[in-house]
Structure 1
Amino acid sequence: MNQSIKGIAIAALALLLTNPVVALPHKTNQPPTNARSQPLKDTLIVPGERIGPITRTTTKQDLAKLFGASHLVDKTISGAEGIGSFAATQVNLNQGRSLLVVWSDNTRTKPLDVRNLGWAWKTREGIGVGTPLSELRKKLGDFKLYGLAWDYGGTILLDSSRLSSYQGKLILRVDTAPNAAQKYPNDYQAVSGDSTFSSSNLHWKPLGIRLEEIILLLNPSQ
């Protein structure tokens, strides 16, 4: 790894490790399929600014006004590597629009980030959960990402992409298709571990890589 790429990797990992709310969360259960929501046409992600009508200043009370209190479920989630806990509110919406708001404290008046996004949410570039690696490369160029099978596996280093301006505002993480590790163990091992790899590495191709997780940072803790 050359020094510039190594510096990018260290900087990106430092951001994740020093900010617990930025840590990639474990998957949560999907909302009930019969959940009904208020009409919502704006499903745009604007890194660092908003996701649909949710902005840096949105409160729990605002969420109730926007979506209806019956669609909100308060919960507590763990921080990075299980350290600490954070208040969060699940917003259960249909048609791939559900999301989870993580708060700065128990007053639920300042959102730190929004995560667990449904497939309907997308950036201006058309990036959303489920976007395949081939499309990501068209939009981001030939970027770097962390290897699979560790805490930050599959995290894209946005500083190495065309969307470097999103660094510190958006976290993108990819994952393999189901059972890819069993079907293609050699390819899987070749791009696994605490190292960075090019998105053009041929070992990614058989693994069915798609965007698995988007985290929008609104008021990241310092």
Structure 2
Amino acid sequence: MNSSIKGIATATLGLLLNYSANPAFALPQKINHPVTVTKSQALTDTLIVPGERVGPITRTTTKQDLVKLFGASHLVDKTISGAEGMGNFAATQLNLNQGRSLLVVWSDNTRTKPLDVRNLGSAWKTREGIGMRTPLSELRKKLGDFKLYGLAWDYGGTILLDNSRLSSYYGKIILRVDAADNAGEKYPNDYRAVSGDATFSSSNPHWKPLGIRLTEIIVVLNPSE
């Protein structure tokens, strides 16, 4: 496995890059006292700082803190499954409008230590302006000519940050891209040329017709040891 992947423990990586959120596992809320959301925290602070915070959510944020920040009515506890049967993980969905929703994945069932934040809405951006649906052309402006894994497998579309302009984010954020809907059918030769368990340059011409955009952001806050 490439060095960009080795920096995170295998079990955590499996969770980070291949999991399923099962709505059937949604848990009832035990707290029924909504708290008013403050503008400074929930409405305007949508900054992603890789490895540190997603808005007001930091490495030390607990479920109780989420209730204080956003109100229990905006939160839904879930259990998500790891890749290939690699266990279950407690998670809390934050439901907010204007593209500000997200999912916090916890280190254990106490919901007192966040592993990562994912399923980010369109409002969340890094300081560089990287967010969901950012096109490949814009990513190249921010990262330089980076490498990424081919499409259509477990780690498909994962960007290798360690040799990019944003190498300082290595191990702190996972960025994955994918092709536009039906791109594989419309441009089968190009799609096959950049698919599979291999790395490709972001300047590879086969990416161009595929409508490549950022489709997954996972902000790592407390990686598993």
TM-score, with structure 2 as normaliser:
0.88
Alignment of 1:140-155 (within 5 A): 140-155=143-158
- SS of corresponding position for 2:2: helix
Letter aligned with residue 107 of structure 1: T
Establish whether residue 17 from structure 1 lines up as the match of residue 20 from structure 2.
no
2: CA distance, partners of 1:157 / 1:22: 15
Counterpart in the other structure of 1:67? 70
Residues 48-90 of structure 1, C-alpha deviations (whole Å, 9 max, x = no match): 1101000000000000111110010000111133311100000
2: CA distance, partners of 1:180 / 1:49: 35
1: CA distance, partners of 2:22 / 2:103: 10
Establish whether residue 106 from structure 1 lines up as the match of residue 104 from structure 2.
no
Letter aligned with residue 62 of structure 1: D
Establish whether residue 163 from structure 1 lines up as the match of residue 171 from structure 2.
no
CA RMSD of aligned residues (A): 1.6
Q: Which runs of 5+ in 1 are unaligned?
A: 1-8, 30-36
Letter aligned with residue 130 of structure 2: I
2: CA distance, partners of 1:53 / 1:219: 15
Residues 187-211 of structure 1, C-alpha deviations (whole Å, 9 max, x = no match): 0000000000000000000000000
- SS of corresponding position for 1:119: coil
Counterpart in the other structure of 2:194? 191
Counterpart in the other structure of 1:182? 185
Whether the 8 Å CA contact 1:23–1:79 is kept in 2: the answer is: no
Go from structure 1 to structure 2 and tell me whether the alpha carbon gap of 1:26 and 1:138 turns closer, same or farther (over 3 Å shift). farther
Whether the 8 Å CA contact 1:16–1:22 is kept in 2: the answer is: no
How much does 1:10 deviate? 1.6
Among residues 136, 141, 148, which one is paired with 1:138 in the alignment? Answer: 141
Q: Which runs of 5+ in 2 are unaligned?
A: 24-35
Letter aligned with residue 114 of structure 1: V
Letter aligned with residue 206 of structure 1: P
How much does 1:159 deviate? 0.7
2: CA distance, partners of 1:114 / 1:62: 15
How much does 1:13 deviate? 3.2
Go from structure 1 to structure 2 and tell me whether the alpha carbon gap of 1:24 and 1:121 turns closer, same or farther (over 3 Å shift). farther
2: CA distance, partners of 1:221 / 1:192: 29
- SS of corresponding position for 1:108: coil
2: CA distance, partners of 1:133 / 1:105: 35
Identity of paired residues, percent?
77
1: CA distance, partners of 2:61 / 2:21: 24
Whether the 8 Å CA contact 2:11–2:86 is kept in 1: the answer is: no
Alignment of 1:14-53 (within 5 A): 14=6, 15=8, 17-19=10-12, 20-26=14-20, 38=37, 39=39, 40-53=43-56
Whether the 8 Å CA contact 1:21–1:112 is kept in 2: the answer is: no
- SS of corresponding position for 1:70: helix
Go from structure 1 to structure 2 and tell me whether the alpha carbon gap of 1:95 and 1:81 turns closer, same or farther (over 3 Å shift). same
TM-score, with structure 1 as normaliser:
0.89
Go from structure 1 to structure 2 and tell me whether the alpha carbon gap of 1:51 and 1:28 turns closer, same or farther (over 3 Å shift). farther
Matched residue count: 207
Counterpart in the other structure of 1:219? 222
Letter aligned with residue 144 of structure 2: G
Go from structure 1 to structure 2 and tell me whether the alpha carbon gap of 1:60 and 1:27 turns closer, same or farther (over 3 Å shift). closer
2: CA distance, partners of 1:17 / 1:81: 12
Among residues 88, 92, 107, which one is paired with 1:89 in the alignment? Answer: 92
